[in-house]
Structures are given as structure tokens and as C-alpha cells.
Amino acid sequence: MPVNLKDIASISGMSGLYRIVSPTRSGVIIETLDDKASRQVAQSKHRISLLHEISIYTEDAEVTVPLADVFERIRQKYGVAIPVNSKSSNNELFSFIQEIIPDYDRSRVYVSDIKKLVSWYAIVSKYVPFTEAETNPEPAAEEPALIEPTTADSESKES
């Protein structure tokens, strides 16, 4: 996976993204994904959405594209600086998502979804490290292990 979103969350009613630090009795300790990295407790009354559970709908009802894959596609095409932001026009936002996911479901992906995607990408690309895809080199042929008899083994054979 190019970016690990397992501990990154969006919290309803709170702007920005948060890193889940640890659970408490009444909720979870969260840390803001910004330069301040302040910590606070998100109580169980807050609606917390983990980013690794979010996907983009495609025209195939059985297929969705996980957010981590969408972020990787954006990073491969544009790097950190993307040509749109959350204040871009609707046409620009729809063209942007069309370039990233050509078969996205136009009836279920709204402008507000694309705006969130764009703002989340800006935060994630700044504060969450992307990992390079690992290339597995050709595995070396395993050499047979040479087992040398110990002196005890050779003595028992001679007797």
C-alpha cells in the first residue's frame, strides 16, 4: 500500500484530519495533522471515519477504488502540487476526478466528495509519508546446505 491510512481519521464537525493515537475509556486520543500536532480526546459521540475504510464508487457496482489507491494515482500523476483545490469550480473538480478515476460513478460521487478528496490529499501528502513500491529482486537460488558430520556422528558410525 503506497500510503498507510489506517490511523488517519476525519471527524464529523471538526475540520482537518487526525491521527488516532490511542483509545481511552470515553473515546480516543487524536492528534491534529498540522504543524502544531496538538492532542485532544475525541469522545464516542463524535462520528469518526477512518480513511482506509473510504472508497470512491465506480460505474461497476461491485468495484470501488480505495482512498489510498486514489491518493497514489494522484501522487503519480501530479506529485504534491495538484492543479485544483477545494475552492476550484465544479467543472475543474469533475475534470480532475475524471483524470484520476476515468470510470468513477457520476451519479454517486458529488462535488463535496471531490472537495474533501482534494483537501485530504493536501494534508496527507504533507504529513503522512508515502512509501515507494517495493521491487522484489529475483530471489537467489538457494544453495543446498552442507551438513558436515560431527565427531560424535562419525564415531557412532565407526562402532
Q: What is this structure's pTM?
A: 0.77
d(CA 125, CA 8): 12
Q: What is the per-residue pLDDT for 122? A: 93
CB 28 within 8 A of CB 21: yes
Q: Is 66 helix (H, G, I), strand (E, B) or coil?
A: strand
Cα atoms in the 13 Å half-sphere on the side-chain side of 114: 26
Count other Cβ atoms within 10 Å, centred on residue 5.
21
**Contact of 48 with 28, CB cutoff 8 Å:** yes
Question: What is the full per-residue pLDDT of the chain (159 aa) written as tens digits?
Answer: 478 899 999 999 888 999 999 988 888 999 999 988 899 999 878 899 999 999 999 999 999 999 999 999 999 999 888 999 999 999 999 999 999 999 999 999 999 999 999 999 999 998 887 766 544 444 444 444 444 444 445 444 444
Distance, in Å, from the CA atom of 158 to the CA atom of 152, rounded to the nearest integer, reads: 10
Residue with cell 564415531: 155
Would you state the pLDDT for residue 154?
Answer: 47
